[in-house]
């Protein structure tokens, strides 16, 4: 009889769900590195929220703490990861974090949001210096993607804080950057004529990012320029195709007989010219991209 009772008790115990293991900082750090540090790193981290270390996460953002140890339901980090607060994170989602990943972060917070083994000394260990993206003489998409992540995808993504990405332009992936929106955003090999560069430098209005200043740093703009002028290479180093037939519009100041703000174009017998603008005057160019990447003017007019 005693044996039967013990066996029944053992079976009942097996049927009970095992307690969920407490989340560890190592688990959470891996998730942050994979999906969040892309944007939330360095001096330009959105709202000052740096997720490269335990100390950075616990310091929170300009709006206050994002983690309340022991209380995942009260933590802004969980609200953003689950979509309980907008915009849902990460901003380049969907896809967003897997339910198991969110559960790991919740378990870690519920366990008191412990830091790395070794305590404060380990948490304070300086991160390794980032590699210089210019060092090998070429810039690939993965080396500029974080710039779009920090400054642009808040609006220019499917997860936009607006109803839709402005001007139909998404900047949350390599393919979408090249596809452009209402007009071409990146002309491979020609940064000066690329709308992305014109907007972040203030040559075109409105200057971007829309909530600036602060604007992009000189180093960020230089890196974007190098990437575009180098052929807008993919993460694998493959040059972007010439967007033959794509249309663009440039409004600016004539800096040459066939040049606006330093961006050269070609006037053809088919070009319509209205009140031919002189050097130094405001002008608008509408054109398309030829097979060799040159800008073929379709209409040029004084503005």
Please tell me whether residues 73 and 50 are part of one structural domain. yes
Q: What is the pLDDT of residue 3?
A: 45
The CATH number of whichever domain residue 303 belongs to comes to 2.40.50.320
Token pair for 254: 């004539």
* Last residue in a domain, options 93, 123, 153: 123
Same domain membership, residue 105 and residue 177: no
Q: H or E element: which one contains 288?
A: strand 282-289
Q: Which residues pair with 252 in a beta bridge?
A: 283
Same domain? 220 vs 292: no
Residue 10 in any domain: the answer is: no
20 domain residue, yes or no: no
Domain of 236? Answer: 137-241
CA distances 117 to 25, 104, 123, 139, 222, Å, are 9, 18, 8, 36, 39
301 phi and psi angles, rounded to 5 deg = -145, 160
The verdict on residue 16 lying in a domain is no
Measure the N-to-C terminal CA separation of the chain; round to a whole number of Å.
Answer: 99
Domain shared by 148 and 215, yes or no: yes
Structural domain count of the chain: 3
Rg for the chain (alpha carbons), in Å?
A: 26
Q: Give the residue ranges of the chain where pLDDT is below 70.
A: 1-22, 118-130
Asked, for residue 19, whether it belongs to a domain, the answer is no
Residue written as token pair 């003017």:
297
- Alpha helices (H) in the chain, listed in sequence order: 2-15, 25-35, 54-59, 76-82, 99-110, 119-123, 145-151, 174-179, 195-201, 218-229
C-alpha count within 13 angstroms, C-beta hemisphere, residue 251: 8
Residues 154 and 237 in one domain: yes
Q: Are residues 227 and 260 in the same domain?
A: no
Residues 225, 190: Cα–Cα separation, whole Å: 8
Domain stops at, among 241, 260, 291: 241
Q: Is residue 253 part of a domain?
A: yes
Within-domain flag for 4 = no
**The pLDDT of residue 13:** 40
Confidence (pLDDT) at 18 = 39
Length of the chain: 303
Residue in 130, 126, 99, 112 with CA at minimum distance from that of residue 25 = 112
Regarding whether 107 and 29 lie in a shared domain, the answer is: yes
Q: Say whether both 157 and 234 belong to one domain.
A: yes
Cβ of 141: how many Cβ atoms within 10 Å?
Answer: 21
What is the DSSP pairing of strand 282-289 with strand 247-256?
Answer: antiparallel
Last residue in a domain, options 194, 225, 241? 241
Can you tell me the distance from the alpha carbon of 9 to that of 12, in angstroms, rounded to the nearest whole number? 5
Query: Are both 144 and 235 inside the same structural domain?
Result: yes
Q: Is residue 231 part of a domain?
A: yes
301 and 234 in a common domain: no
Q: Kindly state whether residues 150 and 223 are assigned to the same domain.
A: yes
For residues 149 and 227, membership in a common domain is answered with yes
Task: Let me know the angle formed at the C-alpha of 49 by 47 and 55, rounded to the nearest 5 degrees.
Answer: 155
| DSSP summary character for residue 73 | G
pLDDT recorded at residue 67: 94
pTM: 0.76
pLDDT of residue 47: 86
Q: Which tokens belong to 30?
A: 């891996």
Classify residue 12: in a domain, yes or no: no
């Amino acid at each position: 009889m005693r044996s039967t009772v013990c066996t029944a008790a053992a079976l009942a115990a097996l049927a009970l769900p095992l307690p969920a293991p407490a989340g560890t900082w190592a688990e959470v750090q891996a998730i942050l590195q994979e999906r969040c540090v892309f944007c939330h790193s360095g001096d330009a981290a959105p709202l000052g929220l740096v997720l490269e270390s335990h100390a950075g996460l616990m310091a929170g953002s300009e709006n206050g703490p994002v983690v309340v140890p022991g209380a995942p339901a009260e933590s802004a980090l969980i609200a953003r990861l689950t979509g309980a607060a907008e915009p849902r994170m990460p901003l380049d989602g969907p896809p967003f974090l897997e339910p198991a990943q969110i559960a790991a972060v919740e378990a870690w917070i519920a366990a008191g949001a412990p830091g790395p083994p070794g305590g404060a000394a380990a948490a304070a260990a300086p991160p390794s210096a980032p590699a210089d993206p210019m060092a090998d003489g070429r810039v690939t998409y993965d080396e500029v993607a974080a710039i779009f992540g920090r400054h642009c995808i808040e609006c220019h993504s499917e997860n936009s804080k607006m109803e839709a990405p402005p001007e139909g332009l998404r900047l949350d992936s390599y393919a979408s950057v090249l596809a452009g929106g209402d007009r071409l955003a990146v002309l491979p090999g020609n940064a000066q004529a690329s709308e992305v560069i014109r907007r972040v430098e203030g040559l075109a209005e409105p200057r971007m990012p829309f909530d600036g200043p602060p604007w992009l740093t000189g180093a960020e703009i230089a890196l974007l320029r190098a990437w575009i002028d180098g052929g807008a290479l993919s993460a694998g180093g493959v040059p972007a195709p010439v967007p033959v037939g794509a249309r663009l519009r440039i409004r600016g100041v004539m800096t040459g007989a066939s040049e606006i703000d330093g961006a050269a174009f070609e006037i053809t017998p088919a070009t319509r010219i209205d009140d031919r603008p002189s050097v130094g005057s405001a002008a608008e160019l509408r054109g398309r991209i030829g097979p060799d990447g040159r800008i073929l003017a379709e209409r040029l007019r004084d503005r």
